[in-house]
Amino acid sequence: MATVTLDDLHKSYGKTAVIHGVDIDIADGEFIVIVGPSGCGKSTLLRMVAGLEGVTSGEVRIAGQRVNEKEPMDRDIAMVFQNYALYPHMSVRQNMGYGLKIAGTPKAEIEARVAEAARLLQLEPYLDRRPRELSGGQRQRVAMGRAIVRRPAVFLFDEPLSNLDAKLRVQMRLEIKQLQRDLGVTSLYVTHDQVEAMTLADRMIVMNAGVADQIGAPLEVYADPETAFVAGFIGSPPTNFLTPAAMGVAAPEGVQLGIRPEHLSLTPAGGAQATGRVLNAEPLGAETLVHLKMADGTLTTVRQDGTAPIPAEGDTVGLAWDAGVQMLFDADGRRIRD
């Protein structure tokens, strides 16, 4: 196990900068999720830690040691990819132990480590099967087992659940979280799925066009976003971005008003601070999402309890909210603080 430090990390391809100075100190045993949309630089950042991408400037330190010039095999890391990368002609047992075999580990130790990983991952009945005989979730467990047997200082996960169906993703997410807790290994996990980020991370790095827009615990980031990008990306449905004037809020020109859907409630239109026309409603059981069009054309979503009355399409309704939950962002998308 080890700490990981990214110190003013930059990456450029020629004159094109793709990572713009990321800084974070990751504690021993911490689970960090790097989250953001496609093209934001999250996988590039992970690959720089792994040694699969060079560092233009700044430092990567693992267990306090600079590793910029070290090959991946010398960094004491293990990586789990989204495509599993299993050898099709090898059994599960052989796949899990292959890296140790190449490293010259004694056969008895390989067998012991593989057996222990198989027990942790509930793979014991499948050790003699080939990858083609396994489900997607079982193949991902084998890929994780191959990483576990190496007993690395750091686990790196590159969107490992993206090839699984929705139900299996939920199951595997729980298993990865529990496994990381049991092993206590420092982990960096890349995903574009903000639900994965919220549920897995001790802290998360929200990437936006190569910049770490915010680093923090999931609920802290959700409740107190630093930028409009973070407010819009973290949370489903996303934050509503509204014109202050249309909502009766005093603010300078160019400022955006952000309010999360669950912080809005529907009221009678008469005397309301703001009103909108109901476009449609989505009853989801425990909750209902009501979509409105405001007078200035802005679209707004209200999340209400599933037992609340559902307004009819075309109705004009009022909106109410606590001023303490509203967020203001300047023209550059930075949070305006009082």
Q: Tell me the C-alpha distance between 33 and 205, whole Å.
A: 6
Residues 218 and 244 in one domain: no
What pLDDT score does 324 carry?
A: 92
Domain boundary among 171, 198, 233: 233
Q: Is the dihedral of CA 168, 171, 176, 177 positive or negative?
A: positive
- Note the pLDDT tens digit of each residue in 81-133: 888 789 999 999 999 999 899 989 999 999 999 999 999 888 999 999 999 99
* Whole-structure pTM value: 0.91
Q: Tell me the C-alpha distance between 144 and 96, whole Å.
A: 9
For residue 257, pLDDT beyond 90:
yes
What pLDDT score does 276 carry?
A: 95
Angle between helices 136-148 and 92-102 (to 10 degrees): 20
**Cβ-Cβ contacts under 8 Å for 144 (sequence gap 6 or more):** 80, 121, 160, 176, 179
Q: What is the pLDDT averaged over residues 139-151?
A: 90
Residues in the chain: 338
What pLDDT score does 308 carry?
A: 95
For residue 1, pLDDT beyond 80:
no
Q: What is the pLDDT averaged over residues 223-244?
A: 95
Residues 305 and 261 in one domain: yes
How confident is residue 246, by pLDDT bands cut at 50, 70 and 90? confident
What pLDDT score does 205 carry?
A: 98
What pLDDT score does 295 carry?
A: 87
Q: What is the 3-state secondary structure (H, E, C) of 301-325?
A: EEEEECCCCCCCCCCEEEEECCHHH
At 260, which CATH number?
A: 2.40.50.140
Average pLDDT, the chain: 94
Q: What is the pLDDT averaged over residues 59-65?
A: 96
Q: What is the pLDDT averaged over residues 23-46?
A: 96
What pLDDT score does 287 carry?
A: 97
Residue range(s) defining the domain that contains residue 171: 4-233
Q: Tell me the C-alpha distance between 160 and 148, whole Å.
A: 15
What pLDDT score does 43 carry?
A: 95
Q: What is the pLDDT averaged over residues 308-327?
A: 94
Q: Is the dihedral of CA 118, 119, 123, 126 positive or negative?
A: positive
Q: Is residue 338 part of a domain?
A: no
Q: Tell me the C-alpha distance between 165 and 73, whole Å.
A: 32
What pLDDT score does 84 carry?
A: 79
Q: Tell me the C-alpha distance between 220 and 160, whole Å.
A: 25
What pLDDT score does 77 carry?
A: 94
What pLDDT score does 165 carry?
A: 83
Q: What is the pLDDT averaged over residues 182-209?
A: 95
Q: Is the dihedral of CA 324, 330, 333, 335 positive or negative?
A: negative
What are the strands, taking DSSP E only, across 192-286?
203-208, 211-216, 240-242, 256-259, 265-267, 274-283
Q: Is residue 334 part of a domain?
A: no
* Contact criterion met (CB below 8 Å) for 124 and 107: no
**Cβ-Cβ contacts under 8 Å for 294 (sequence gap 6 or more):** 242, 243, 246, 247, 274, 275, 276, 300
For residue 209, pLDDT beyond 90:
yes
At 156, which CATH number?
A: 3.40.50.300
Residues 198 and 264 in one domain: no
Q: What is the pLDDT averaged over residues 174-196?
A: 92
